[in-house]
Amino acid sequence: MQTIILDDHGRAWDARSPALRSFLHCSLPDFDFLTYLVENLGFVAVTRIAPNAARIRFRPETASQTSIAAALFCLADMGIERAVICHPDQFVEKLFPSLAQTIAYIAEQVAANHQTTSRAFTGRELPLEMLASADKALASLFAHWIDSKQVYDSAKLADVLPDSLRGRFMLVEPVDGRLTITDVGPGFEIFGETWRKNARGMPMEEQPDYNYGQWVQGLYRRVQETLVPRLDEVNATIRRPDRNDSIHTHYQRLILPFTCKGNRGTCLLGASVVDFWKQQSALDRRAVEECPA
């Protein structure tokens, strides 16, 4: 039975397609690729199990609205009437005898989880003037941005970032309309070393906590559109699927728009500092070095 994957741009892929693995930079043969796509990246999997029936796999917490819409169009094109729906939080699959009931159930699940997700990440934009009284590391980075005339120079930044910010930064650039990770500092430990080493070249939102990635990507996108630096105070509860846990973190993040030396395009540098005393628990304090950028 063929399984079709609908990604967050609405594109359809054969789940066994080497092109999909190549596109997502995932070549590990023993990796549960389908589960990762559904649970972490917010994609939807559709498998025809009978001429007019299909099995749908999605995770309401991470499902992209674009993926869901594409999946529903796919079901209509396939002439599907009955659907079996399963997602990680259910032990029992649900059977729906009509496409209308299937659509209603999916919409209900996504809406309920969207409300929960919106409470998981909160932030408020701070005036840039507050950098004068904020963490010295962020103030130093902002001063470098001004002195450099906003031209990105990795060699000069190498002297600023690791010491003052403990390597807690992320650099992204627009590639084919998507903000793509081009560098991650060694202090970005929240999702572990393996993810960090493989993050370069991935769309920014495709972090292990997909909802968090989408939320942060939206803030970076605003800086890309306005070319104005942004300082935020953030409270976030972030899922770590590989450890089967979540951590709560409170931090300040500065996003700076730079001009790339080579192609003169825009690249965005985000760096963060953790407020140690506002971590929620002793476990979170041990995770203080894992703050996201």
Looking at the fold, whether 194 and 280 belong to one and the same domain comes out as yes
Same domain, 269 and 237: yes
Judgement on whether residues 115 and 250 belong to the same structural domain of the protein: no
Clarify whether residues 253 and 235 are in a common domain: yes
Question: 233 pairs with which residues across the strands?
Answer: 124, 252
Quick one: 250 and 112 in the same domain?
no
Q: Check residue 292 and give its pLDDT.
A: 58
Burial 214-240 (b: 16+ CB within 10 A, else e): bbbbebbbebbeeeebbbbbbbbbbbb
CATH code, domain with 261: 3.30.450.20
Q: Is the same domain home to 109 and 12?
A: yes
CA 281, 285, 288: angle at the middle one, nearest 5? 140
Picking from 84, 119, 154, the residue at the C-terminal end of a domain is 119
- Looking at the structure, tell me whether residues 155 and 95 fall in a common domain: no
Q: Is residue 274 located within the same domain as residue 136? A: yes
Q: What is the pLDDT of residue 56?
A: 94
Residues 266, 131, single domain; the answer is yes
Q: What is the pLDDT of residues 148-175, one digit of tens each?
A: 899 988 887 877 765 667 788 999 999 8
Phi, psi of 28 (to 5 degrees): -70, 120
Q: Phi and psi for 106 in degrees, rounded to 5?
A: -60, -45
| Residue 124 CB-half CA count within 13 A | 3
Shortest CA distance to 201 belongs to which of 216, 218, 184, 186?
184
Check whether residue 135 and residue 264 sit in a common domain.
yes
Instruction: Say which residues have a Cβ less than 8 Å from residue 61's Cβ, sequence separation at least 6.
Output: 113, 116, 117, 211, 239
Residue 34's pLDDT is: 85
Indicate whether 101 and 133 sit together in one domain.
no
**Residues lower than pLDDT 50 in the chain:** 276-291
| Count of domains for the chain | 2
For residues 260 and 262, give the distance between their C-alpha atoms in angstroms, rounded to a whole number. Answer: 6
* End position of a domain, from candidates 61, 86, 119: 119
| Residues across the chain | 293
Structural domain boundaries, residue 99: 3-119
What pLDDT was estimated at residue 280? 43
For 167, the token pair is 């390597």
Strand, helix or coil for residue 275: coil
